[in-house]
Chain A
Amino acid sequence: MEPFELALAEAAASIAARELSPVELLESVLARVAAVDGSVGAFVELMEDRARAAARQAQEEIVRAGPRGPLHGVPVTLKDLYDIAGLRTGAGSRARDGHVATADAAVTERLTRAGAVLFGRVRTHEFALGSTTPGTRNPWTLRHVPGGSSGGSAAAVAARMGPVSMGTDTGGSIRGPAAHCGVSGLKPTYGRVSTRGVVPLAWSQDHAGPIARTAEDVALVMNAVAGPDPHDPACADAAAPDFTARLHRGAAGLTLGVPSAFFFDDCHPDVEARVREAIAALRDAGARVREVVPPMAEAIFAAHMTILAAEAAAFHGDRPHRPGSGYGEGLTATLAAARLIPATDYVTAQRLRTEVVRRWRGLFGQVDLLVAPAVAAPAARYGENTVRFPDGRTEPVLTANARLNFPADFTGFPSLSVPCGFTRERLPVGLQIIGPPFSEPEVLRLGHAYQQVTDWARRAPDLTAAYNAEGAAPAVREPG
């Protein structure tokens, strides 16, 4: 096995045992990027010089005093929304040309403090408002998108271009790409991870979180990035626990809620089949399973979209509507229409949020965790705006990718997507695990338990075959 193929926990163990140096690991990952990213298109910028210096420093520190923790000396990428002092945060948009970050984002600071080797920024859908990530291909089949908006993060991790990438999730932007690319992604509880220094999409719904190969790797990253930030008004005061503490407790003893409505409605049949098989595997592993009705789920989309669009329009102001703004046409149109959303609709949507959160808290009085599909359909074809279901029905890519993810963003409850198999077209499917506020250790416990009885998280795309069959990614400069 080459170093670039190691998951975070494996790389950390090799580094701690002095079997692998941070410099060797970084060089292996950089060579991997050079070999495959011409076709995947995950990277906006490689920071090779900076990363090599950080890897050498980590190596010296580890030789002298041992690793600070599992991220010490491990290459990590950031979605192009996270500030890195002195560099452009592009947010996937030409509108950001000329931008230079004056300070690190909180997550950038914490990863650096943990000894991670930040080596590249990866592609986002323009300003995180979209679910296809133009310019990036799905490593499992280059004919398809990786999902979005953290498509660069998920594609990089799936293609073994770094074991960890930080994404963001406002309407499914971590879990959707994770599901489409066959990797694991956590949207933590709202406020669990600081979003200071992250370009916002919608302040009251934005979440920062990791994408990695396994639930265990996600837990290790959470230990480094979660916790209070006095400089971020949205960050929770709750002290961060050890996110690995409950990983090895297994599925036995947990009661899982399986939605009898909403989450399986209008789902691709292969997605439903894989998710129901995953639930059966968890039952076999000792979990209790019962049907539940997620309260008011059908009303969430309208409220979530209203809040997201209104807050995004407020953030961007009139900048998209100036001549030569650099904003993409689709985003400009959406933000123009969002300017017309009445304030009363926004407030009504936030009122519904109060009621939904109250009722969903009640739901988690009956079950420990909710299990459901992460995304209703597999990854869309590159360049297409709609998803076609086997029964002939079509749906816009944006809603097909996001609608099952909206509830956890809307409530702020934690949600993990883990890979649970493939469709007949060999496209990955994700199992979504939702818990009550601040229950990440339990959510990750179930994800890890599932990954102990299945091998989906260990599967890797055969990029050589994919290249030969499907050719390279477009060479044009897409936004970002």
Chain B
Amino acid sequence: MTDSHIAGGRARAAASADEDLAALLRAAGIDHPPGDPKPAAEARAMFRRCAERLARLDLGDTPPATVFAPWQR
């Protein structure tokens, strides 16, 4: 495989990811997604990393914090 094949593959993957994000945003009710998809994709990646971090926690049956008094428990 040549460098141009690899670059082409990466470009197609990036375009596909952009389309996926645009579809997700439309499904979330955003009909006018940001013009430049890169910042939204970066933010989405950060939130997904946060989700993966949270998924590794074992919180047992711990309930959520009291939203308006987090220090109460």
Q: Which residues of A contact B (CB under 8 A)?
A: 189-191, 203-204, 233-234, 236, 299, 301-303, 305-306, 309, 318, 321-323, 329-330, 332-334, 336-342, 345, 347-355, 357-358, 410-413, 437-438
Interfacial chain A residues near B34, Cβ < 8 Å: 329, 332-333, 336
Q: For window 1-56 of chain B, which residues contact chain A by CB distance below 8 Å?
A: 24-25, 28-36, 39-44, 46-47, 49-51, 53-55
Which residues from chain B sit less than 8 Å from chain A, CB to CB?
24-25, 28-36, 39-44, 46-47, 49-51, 53-55, 57, 59, 62-65, 67-71, 73
A358 to B55, CA, bound (A): 20
> Across the interface, do B35 and A329 meet the contact criterion of CB distance under 8 Å?
yes
A345 contacts which chain B residues (CB < 8 A)? 50-51, 54
What is the CA–CA distance of A437 and B69 in the complex, to the nearest angstrom? 10
30 contacts between A and B (CB under 8 A): A191-B71, A204-B67, A204-B68, A233-B68, A302-B51, A303-B50, A305-B46, A305-B47, A306-B51, A322-B32, A333-B36, A336-B33, A336-B34, A337-B40, A337-B44, A337-B47, A338-B47, A340-B24, A340-B44, A341-B51, A348-B54, A350-B65, A351-B62, A352-B54, A353-B70, A354-B63, A355-B59, A357-B71, A412-B70, A437-B71
Q: How far is the CA of A355 from the CA of B61 in the complex (A)?
A: 11
Q: How far is the CB of A150 from chain B (nearest CB, A)?
A: 21
- Is A305 touching B43 in the complex (CB atoms < 8 A)? no
Which of A236, A333, A337 is in CB contact (< 8 Å) with B69? A236
Task: Give complex CA distance A189, B40 in Å.
Answer: 33
Residue among A203, A332, A341 making CB contact with B67, cutoff 8 Å: A203
Residues of B within 8 A of A351 (CB): 59, 62-65
Shortest distance between the CB of A452 and any CB in chain B (Å): 29
Q: Which residues of A contact B41 (CB under 8 A)?
A: 337
Number of residue pairs spanning A and B whose beta carbons lie under 8 angstroms apart? 131
Q: Knowing A299-B53, A345-B50, say if A333 contacts B65 (CB, 8 Å).
A: no
* Chain A residue at minimum C-beta to C-beta distance from B37: A333
Chain A residues closer than 8 Å to B30, beta-carbon distance? 318, 321, 336, 339
Contact (Cβ within 8 A) A357 B73? yes
Contact (Cβ within 8 A) A353 B54:
no
CB-CB nearest in chain B for A236: B69
CB distance from B20 to the nearest CB of A (A): 11
Task: Please state if A358 and B73 are interface contacts (CB–CB under 8 Å).
Answer: yes
Q: Report yes or no: A302 in contact with B49, Cβ–Cβ below 8 A.
A: yes
Q: How far is the CA of A132 from the CA of B43 in the complex (A)?
A: 17
Q: Would B71 and A190 count as touching, CB distance under 8 A?
A: yes
Are B64 and A350 in contact, CB atoms less than 8 angstroms apart?
Answer: yes
> A341-B51, A352-B59 known; A333 and B71 CB under 8 Å?
no
B57 contact from A339, A348, A350, A438, Cβ within 8 A: A348
State A302–B41 Cα separation when bound (angstroms).
17
B26 to A: closest C-beta gap in Å: 11
Interface contact B32-A352, CB-CB below 8 Å: no
Bound-state CA distance A345–B55 (Å) is 8
With A336-B40, A348-B59, A412-B71: A306-B50 Cβ-Cβ less than 8 Å: yes
CA–CA, A410 and B43, complex, Å? 20
Bound Cα distance A246, B48 (Å): 45
| CA distance in complex: A410, B70 (Å) | 8
Find the A residue at minimum CB distance from B52: A302
Q: Which of B29, B36, B68 is A318 in contact with, Cβ under 8 Å?
A: B29
Query: CB distance A354 to B54 under 8 Å?
Result: no
User: Which B-chain residue is minimally distant from A317 (CB atoms)?
Assistant: B29
Given contacts A337-B44, A412-B71, contact A305 B65 (CB under 8 A): no
| 10 A-B pairs closest in CB distance | A350-B64, A333-B39, A337-B43, A302-B53, A302-B50, A353-B65, A437-B71, A333-B40, A337-B44, A412-B70
